[in-house]
A = this chain, B = another copy of it.
């Protein structure tokens, strides 16, 4: 297969979305399959993206007073079983370590699927007085969940994430923290990843194992499926009681703190791909793109071209994440290659441009080309990148809105889901039975009860049972 063909061999989205996704992630070398089934290798282009995502979140965590720590990978089986709902949720999908070197272990250890249990065991040791509260800690790490069906980034047996774990003196403070972190997730996803989010609460059925309440941000992919993109849990005193975390309170009596936990993961990379990508490959938001602009010299062998390309590169390299492609591949191949990689701006410079003291900037998001004076390169690129960032968000928002329908009854629900797959907004009575039946009949799950309830409540009825409903919920098929 020639290089050119290799670039072009992305399955069209409409032909087979799933194959499109696989083509894009493999051909752009974001990720590869690991030797152990269900595991992935995050390659330099995917990891570069992850580093920028991490940095955006980490700044917000630190700005709001959180510090990073590192807790151990392995958790004793007896810890996992301390919180009843938690163990039921996670035990079926953990990997077990039974031997260290040649020796069988006295107690099995599980590889953390999430770290509430091990962290709570340490918090119990550290916390003695209300004066120490709140505990505001986070860790960036790998976790393992033994998944049966996996797809790179979206669902893998190992993934990278951050997990925040906090303790508070009062229920109110813990609830505020839960909301604050969800809001940070929403804001970073919208401002940096350019993905509009629906924020809201999970149903009892869908909440985190061991939580009182789970809040979520949900995004909509090009194929109309939803992606849970980040969750924030109000844990009440469940884990504090299970792990006997107590402290001497203001009234000089022993009290249990209230706790929260919250996480986002490499799954977000899958979201970026499926929200912004097109038939030519990736489209990456400038703020987090590993390469923000690539310079392509045209007729590179002609005198002065490469020098001028290097000049431009030198002007820009300290202000932007730049690449200069002076490889000996053909210009056509290079265009396709960097387009597929989703680099926001391509800068072309050839002999004619040099004569006219100009270059050409091409936007990845709109394919629009503009001619730029060589004295204006830096300012123009900066404003272009801002424009692209903004435009990508607006485009994604429109896409989501066009794929969001309202259904009054199950007939409408099924019709919409069939004809225009996406979010179905509908009244819901709040009972588990309706939620289960909707899933059974349509494959759609309850994504969240959104904070924004912009529907006339007086006349609202449950889309399934027809009884009075006091809230709407978002339903969708989901990754």
A positions within 8 Å CB-CB of B: 32, 34-36, 39-44, 47-48, 50-51, 67-76, 79, 91-102, 109, 111, 118, 121-122, 125-126, 137, 141-142, 144, 146, 157-158, 160
Contacts and interface: CB of A to CB of B under 8 A. Distances in A.
Determine how many copies of this chain the complex contains: 2
A253 B253 CA distance: 78
A344 B98 CA distance: 45
Contact of A92 (B96, B102, B157): B102
A371 to B, nearest CB: 33
A379 to B, nearest CB: 26
Given A94-B101, A95-B100, A41 B67 contact: no
A100 B141 contact: no
A91 B102 CA distance: 8
A443 to B, nearest CB: 24
B41 A109 contact: no
15 contacts: A34-B71, A34-B118, A35-B121, A39-B74, A41-B72, A44-B67, A44-B69, A74-B95, A91-B101, A93-B101, A95-B99, A95-B109, A96-B100, A98-B98, A98-B99
Given A92-B101, A95-B109, 10 more contacts: A32-B122, A41-B70, A42-B70, A44-B69, A44-B137, A47-B68, A93-B101, A95-B100, A96-B100, A97-B98
A158 B93 CA distance: 22
Contact of A71 (B41, B102, B141): B41
A32 B36 CA distance: 33
B97 A96 contact: yes
Contacts of A92: 101-102
A73 B111 contact: yes
B158 A74 contact: yes
B73 A35 contact: no
A439 to B, nearest CB: 23
Contacts of A146: 100-101
A72 B42 CA distance: 9
A472 to B, nearest CB: 36
A99 B98 CA distance: 8
Nearest to A45: B67
A292 B61 CA distance: 21
A44 B72 contact: no
Nearest to A94: B101
A97 B111 CA distance: 9
Nearest to A93: B101
Nearest to A43: B69
Contacts of A32: 122, 125-126
Contacts of A94: 101
Residue from A44, A79, A93 whose CB has the most chain B CB atoms within 10 Å = A44
A23 to B, nearest CB: 17
A275 to B, nearest CB: 22
B109 A73 contact: no
A217 to B, nearest CB: 24
Contacts of A34: 71-72, 118, 122
A15 B71 CA distance: 32
A72 B158 contact: yes
A72 B48 CA distance: 17
Contacts of A68: 44, 47-48, 51
Contacts of A67: 44, 47-48
Contacts of A144: 73-74
A469 B141 CA distance: 49
A42 B109 CA distance: 20
A73 B75 CA distance: 16
